[in-house]
Structure 1
Amino acid sequence: MTSELQSSKQIYDFVIIGSGFGGSVSAMRLAEKGYRVLVLERGLRYEDEDFPKNNWLLWKFLWMPALRFFGFWELTLLRDVMAFSWSGVGGGSLGYANVLVDPDDKMYEVGNWAGLNEWKSVLAPHFDTAKRMLGRSISPSITEADKIMRSVSEKMGRGSTFKNLPVGVYFGTQGIEVDDPFFNGQGPLRSGCTFCGGCMIGCRENAKNTLPKNYLYFAEKLGVEIRPEAQVTEISKAKDGVGDGARYRLRYKNPKSVYRSVSGEIYARNVIVAAGVIGTLNLLLQCRDVSRTLPELSVRLGENVRTNSEALLGVTDLDPASNHTEGIAINTVFHADDVTHIEPFRFPEGSSFLSRLLVAPMIEAGEAGVAYRLWLLLLAILRNPWSFIKSKFDPAWGRRTFLILLMQTEDNLMRVKLGRSLLTLFRLGLTSDRGKEKQVPAEIPIGHQVVRAMAAEIDGLPMGNIVEGALNASMTAHILGGCLMGSNDAEGVVNKELEVFNYPGLYIVDGSIIQANPGLNPTLTITAMAEYAMSGIPAKN
């Protein structure tokens, strides 16, 4: 067996699990250093024209293999949170809202990592690199929703905090294809943004700076192999005798297969887990607690998961002529108070599936139980039944509604672990525990205040969401943490170089190693952390 493996091409210097921001940065930087790299991605590979024209094409939009939906948006409902995540070559870049902001300085002062490094100064050059690679520029447009928010910010005495955001979009001449504008002509052809609003259902216009147009583009030019439709199910130590320095064996399957059997096996000298918080925690918890292939993973795996203290709300404009679907996904932000950031966002014309699925009348119920919350929701519906019916069935409702993303730097924590519940259909799966201290909030009063004020600006309707309203659970597009950083395995899962304790050559490089709420969209922070981690790996001899 040894000679067969050594002569084959199935031993890699690095195997990377996931092709999002952490995985893509890792692939390119390791290839530059001379390593043989394989990226295993459970999702599909997309060309621009492959993305759905609207998010009602559920089989192309949602990632739900049990229903044979192999899109790129995944909704994971745990007891305390509904989290969004993504699949596909390019990971979260395929569906994120383009925002590339520096984190609040408070992020560097809390969490397990605070005393392990001078993080702000150490990460500064890596933030600069990430901004250059992701093509960061300031959004040039202001939509009607942005104007409404600006008016509210001024009335709250916070007008000076309103600003256009830096984003990863090419703002050339609309719809005109040009030679690469970001990498001295060495990158792919690009086209100017048409402000169609389609950023989060997959940009079909070649304007969004997704990872296949930067990091992954150059990684493949450097020889990185990307294998889509390959979902890793197990990591284990390679047995003695495999040879050629292989330390780990990875087993994977094709998620499209109706059978559960393993469809591939790979050996690696080093492994980088970059499957996103949900994917990474699920894989590593399974390896520690079920298959027992990595039994020495820290007992702290799954602790201190954060939601970026987020809430997703909305406003419906009652003016039948209004249209809030045009523009890039997110243009602007303002600081409602010293810890709260508010951003309006939108889906394009005809893509109201998620909005209709999740919105509900806004109620204030504090920490009340499910029964009382359902009663309040029913009363709110009965007070304005026609508006509720329109939110589910009126074809024009989607274009008259814009959504609100609230994020806070306030620290809050929960634990994610393996367990059985109604939400897992009593099969072993991820569950959550909010704990007793620093609980993740569902209802955030300042968010309700701002949304009600924005609705009042246009005589519109404030909208909550069904997860918060009925379940007292939060909703987040930016779930973070779960892999604590520490000085040893009693304190954390990884060291400050992001290498896993007790498993040399095994790294975690994705949102699960973010140690505090950035308070703003965390994409740039994850990218900078990946650049930092790869800078510490020496070039191949």
Structure 2
Amino acid sequence: MITNIPGAPSGAEHADVVVVGSGFGGSVAAYRMASAGLSVVVLERGRAYSPGSFPRSPAEMGKAFWDPVAGLYGLFDVWSFDGCDSVVSSGLGGGSLIYANVLLRKDERWFVNEEPLPRGGYENWPVTRADLDPHYDAVEKMIGVTTYPLENPAYSDTPKTRALQDAATELGLDFRLPPLAVSFAPSRDAAPGIGLPLADGPYGSLHGVQRRTCRLCGECNLGCNDGAKNSLDHTYLAAARHHGADLRTLHEVRGIRPRRGGGYAVDYSTHTPGGGPGTITCDRLVLAAGTLGTSFLLLRSRAELPGLSDRLGTRFSGNGDLLTFLLRAKDRTGSRTITGSRGPVITSAIRLADTADGTRETGRGGYIEDGGFPAFVDWLVEGADLRGELGRAARFLVDRLRAMVTGDTNMSAEFADLVGRGELSTSSLPLLGMGRDVPDGVLRLRGGRLDVEWHTETGEEYFDRVRATMGRIADVLGAEYADMPAWISKRIITVHPLGGAPMGRHPGEGVCDAYGEVFDHPGLYIADGAALPGPVGANPSLTIAALADRMCTRMLEKGPPSTRSAKATREVEFHMTMGAGLVGEPPAETRPAPMPAPGERTSLSFTEEMRGFLSLGVDDPRSGDMSARSHGDRFSFELTITIDDVNGFLAEPTHQARAAGWVDSPVCGGRRAVEQGWFNLFAPGMSPDRREMRYRLWFLDDDGEKRTLSGRKDVHHGPATRLWLDTSTLFTRLLEGHVPEGEEDKATVLGAGTLHIRPMDLAATLKSFDTEGPRGMTAVARFGKFFVGELWDVYGPG
């Protein structure tokens, strides 16, 4: 139930969950939380659009843009940045109102780990295809997907689909019909047919307007006036409202901040006559305002959210988006001109293989899809074909230059003036490219406005590959290939901006964890494209929705967030680990709770980074250190140590955990992923007063040769002044092959050296502690008590 809070600012209301935005992440979150019985409020800045209400005439289209300063509250929000432009949506249903219906899964091998980026750093996905597959299934079932019924007589007359298939066959390319969120048949078991009445879904309709099956008008990107598109207002949002969610349109969020006692306060303004500012509080806050909206909101609220990762604003990409045109293309007979004006916007796709696929292909992969012909794209076509009203286009370019000088990056008003009047071109077929471009862009505030520093230079090889393939398709179809005019300066228009608040394994790598929860801010979640650490490659909508579904499962399993902040919790852990809890009894609020009952497993993980030197041809790590320094053979690793069951770990004598991550050294060919790793904490040594911290990491070098890094920290009785030196120094040997446990001394030693953990890295390790399962705080406390107790046994008096 949504309640009023006495004495709160402006009579603030309170809800269990507030969702900002109603796109693929926000709609999924609203439904999942509401169906679990929680009070949910969705704040959407745009308005609702029922079938039949989407703009079509030039006069309507001129007002169909989002720029409140210019008095525009329309569907399209156009942004211009240094290096790219972006078109996103504003309305109840978010991007689903104007996207091209494609719901492809991210390719399994494209969930890359430790993939080097041209300007430094690495692309890491802390989730896998296996993690997402059950959530992909759930989203596809809820939205309703099908492939284009090309063989059905009612839909077979779409020349662009046949043409792309013919070109792919002749060129030996991978052609497919992708899953589409479009209703071609009036019900699941009925035969497809054009313009047939659709029955309401199981949760009714938000709009009370009759929907009809696809009539091949090619206007999906303008909003479907027939209701054939299974957009989120017809699916997830209808279900969310059915379960009690409060869907509020024309409510634009301006800022967020923590709420005393836990949860968050959300400040918003309303774009309605007589509307003004308001505040609502919540226990859990889901940010799903789109990549640009969520990143902008977090950057603008940074002062109110201390402790946000410094990775905020990083990993921006355009998902490899590239729009081009085939002019005067012909079918295989050469007698019929192919256009994009018949069919859904996208019916088919060609997949370009990726180096990560393990095939002979090299380079970053992607997809090329046939394009439909909605009106606003057609006006751009006129420019590509050097026709149209050049004066208006010139004015647009002048306005762009003005924007670069003044910093006004919202170009919707100027774009609205650019489109003006236009007539459909009858001789052009758009091709839409997308794929794994380089996620090295940075979002930041400049003069209070959102700014993006991203260019196509580092992804030039990818874009050249996609353009070359499109050119080959043009040759097969007897067409003239044409880039967008902006490509002259290597600018792109993306409808899939991603990144800005990327997920990661720890705060040094991302803003939120693999479940979308912001590090150090319990109950604050990111559920849109901002959380993606790199491009999806395929159309990203389904992946965003699946990640949101996975996030919601985790949210419901965890229950309401603790009122204690994660930072305060880790401060308690730090003092316990460093021994502050040894003198007397800890305060009641930090005293460990009872142990979990048998069968209640709680896992614990943390990240550790060490660096040093390693010399080839050296057997003894102690001599290898000094020798290696003169040769510059640096060696480092970053590992995430995972204890699957804290109780079992503490009870087992060797205290073994899993290690995953990477090693990095010139002697191994650069950064190499750990294929399998083991870590033992305070395993018994050769005498009662000795303990060992053991590391055994299996990986492949750059020649594909199996290697093992074997390391040991020697913790033995001595003065307390040795504690830091012993626990921060790792004596390592590089071994030939993947060496089993206990056989290290029999293996061929390739080199040796020492690695160290620095004080600043120790602080990052302590900050990275995370748990899954019941009573996580108890698990951390027991781990800390064990750690300190073992050190006391070794270094204590007696």
Which letter maps to 1:192? T
In structure 2, do the counterparts of structure 1 residues 213 and 185 end up closer, same or farther at CA, with 3 Å as the change threshold? closer
Distance in 1 (CA, whole Å) between partners of 2:10 and 2:77 is 39
1:56-455 correspondence runs (5 A): 57-110=60-113, 114=124, 116-117=126-127, 119-141=128-150, 143-158=158-173, 161-172=174-185, 173-180=193-200, 183=202, 190-239=211-260, 247-255=263-271, 263-288=277-302, 292-317=303-328, 323-338=339-354, 339-348=365-374, 352-356=378-382, 398-419=425-446, 427-434=447-454, 439-441=458-460, 444-455=463-474
Offset, 1:396: 5.5
In structure 2, the partner of 1:464 is 483
Shift of 1:408: 2.2
Provide the C-alpha distance between the structure 1 equivalents of 2:110 and 2:385, rounded to a whole number of angstroms: 30
Q: Against the structure 1 CA distance between its residues 145 and 491, is the aligned structure 2 distance closer, same or farther, given a 3 Å change threshold? A: same
State the 1:136 CA deviation. 0.7
Mark the CA change 1:34 to 1:350 in structure 2 (over 3 Å): closer, same or farther.
Answer: closer
Q: State the match for 2:778 in structure 1.
A: none
User: Within the alignment, does 1:526 sit opposite 2:535 as a pair?
Assistant: no
- Give 1:156 shift: 2.0
Q: Are residues 335 and 122 of structure 1, via their aligned partners in 2, closer, same or farther at CA, if it must alter by over 3 Å?
A: closer
- Output one character per residue of 1:236-275: Cα deviation in whole Å (capped at 9) or x when no partner: 12246xxxxx6211111134689xx961111111110000
The equivalent of 1:388 in structure 2 is none
Compute the RMSD of aligned alpha carbons: 3.3
- The answer to whether the Cα contact below 8 Å between 1:236 and 1:248 also exists between their aligned partners in 2 is yes
Q: Deviations over 1:327-352 (max 9, x none)?
A: 00100011345423210111247972
What is the CA distance between 1:57 and its match in structure 2? 2.7
Give the whole-Å Cα distance in 2 for the aligned partners of 1:525 and 1:50. Answer: 29
Deviation at 1:432, TM superposition (A): 2.2
Equivalent in the alignment of 1:34 = 37
Percent identity between matched residues is 28
8 A Cα contact 1:442 1:474, kept in partner: no
Equivalent residue letter for 2:145: R
Q: Provide the rounded CA distance (Å) in 1 between the counterparts of 2:58 and 2:149.
A: 26
1:307 and 1:496 mapped to 2: Cα distance?
21
Task: State the secondary structure of the residue aligned to 1:121.
Answer: helix
Displacement of 1:358 in angstroms is: 6.6
Describe the SS at the equivalent of 2:433. strand
The verdict on how the C-alpha distance between 1:496 and 1:350 changes in structure 2, with shifts beyond 3 A counting, is: closer
Paired positions, count: 491
Q: Measure, in 2, the Cα distance between the counterparts of 1:233 and 1:406.
A: 34
Contact 1:63 1:73 in 2 (8 A): yes
1:47 CA drift (Å)? 1.0
List gaps (5 residues or longer) in structure 1.
241-245, 362-369, 371-391, 420-426
CA distance in 1, matches of 2:177, 2:220: 17
The residue correspondences of 1:466-485 to structure 2 (distance < 5 A) are 466-469=485-488, 471-485=489-503
- Aligned equivalents of 2:67 and 2:256: distance in 1? 23
- Residues 1:176 and 1:495: Cα distance change in structure 2 (over 3 Å): same
TM-score, normalised via structure 2 length: 0.57
Instruction: Please give the alpha-carbon distance, in whole angstroms, between the structure 1 residues aligned to 2:469 and 2:285.
Output: 45
Report the CA distance shift for 1:4/1:47 in structure 2 as closer, same or farther (over 3 A).
same
* Cα distance in 1, alignment partners of residues 426 and 444 from structure 2: 39
Contact 1:107 1:517 in 2 (8 A): no
In structure 2, C-alpha distance between the alignment counterparts of 1:202 and 1:106, rounded to whole Å: 33
Report the Cα distance in structure 1 between the residues aligned to 2:296 and 2:385, rounded to whole angstroms.
Answer: 28
**What does the per-residue CA deviation read over 1:448-490, in whole Å, with 9 as the maximum and x for residues that have no partner?**
3233334444543322113222x32232221111212223322
Change (3 A) 1:428 1:6: closer
CA distance in 1, matches of 2:247, 2:271: 16
- 1:332 counterpart letter in structure 2: S
Question: The residue matched to 1:19 in structure 2 has which SS?
Answer: coil
Distance 1:354 1:71, change over 3 A: farther
Letter in 1 for 2:166: S
Residue 536 of structure 1, CA deviation: 0.9
CA contact (8 A) 1:409 1:518 kept: yes
Q: Choose 475-484 or 220-229, whichever is displaced more.
A: 475-484
Give the conservation status (yes or no) of the 8 Å contact 1:113–1:486. no
Q: In structure 1, how many angstroms separate the alpha carbons of the residues matched to 2:504 and 2:75?
A: 33
Match of 1:500 in 2: 518
Deviations 1:118-149 (CA, angstroms, capped at 9, x unpaired) = x2222111010011011010111363223332
For structure 2, which runs of at least 5 residues remain unmatched after alignment? 115-121, 151-155, 186-192, 331-335, 355-364, 388-396, 398-418, 561-798
Q: CA 1:322–1:233 in structure 2 vs 1: closer, same or farther (change >3 Å)?
A: same
The separation in 1 between residues aligned to 2:272 and 2:385, in whole angstroms, is 31
Distance 2:368 2:539 in 1: 11
Counterpart AA for 1:464: D
Alignment CA distance shift 1:500-1:340 (3 Å): closer
* Gap change, CA 1:199 and 1:56, over 3 Å in 2: farther
Q: Distance in 2 between matches of 1:348 and 1:115?
A: 35
AA of the residue aligned to 2:184: F
Matched to 1:45, the amino acid is: A
Tell me whether 320-329 or 271-280 shows the greater mean CA deviation: 320-329
Q: Return closer, same or farther for 1:396/1:34 CA change in 2, 3 Å cut-off.
A: closer
Given residue 366 of structure 2, which amino acid in structure 1 is its aligned partner?
T
Q: Does the CA contact (< 8 Å) of 1:25 and 1:531 recur in 2?
A: yes
Compared CA separation, residues 435 and 405, structure 1 to 2 (3 A): closer
- Higher mean alpha-carbon deviation, 507-516 vs 402-411, is at 402-411
After superposing the two structures, state which structure 1 stretch, 315-324 or 500-509, moved more.
315-324
Greater relative contact order (CA < 8 Å, ≥ 6 in sequence): 1
List per-residue Cα deviations over 1:73-109 (Å, max 9, x = no partner). 2221111221221110000000000001111123322
Q: Which structure's CA Rg is the greater one? A: 2
* Change beyond 3 A, Cα 1:10–1:350: closer
Seen in structure 2, the aligned counterparts of structure 1 residues 115 and 234 have a Cα distance that, compared at 3 Å, is closer
**CA contact 1:55–1:351 (8 Å) conserved in 2:** no
CA deviations 1:164-223 (Å, max 9, x no partner) are 12100011132221324x649899864211111111101011111000111000100111
Letter of the 1:277 counterpart? T
- CA distance 1:457–1:108, shift in 2 (3 Å): closer
User: What is the alpha-carbon distance in structure 2 between the residues aligned to residue 482 and residue 129 of structure 1?
Assistant: 27
SS, match of residue 304 in structure 2: coil
Tell me how far apart the structure 1 counterparts of residues 205 and 480 of structure 2 sit (CA, whole Å). 49
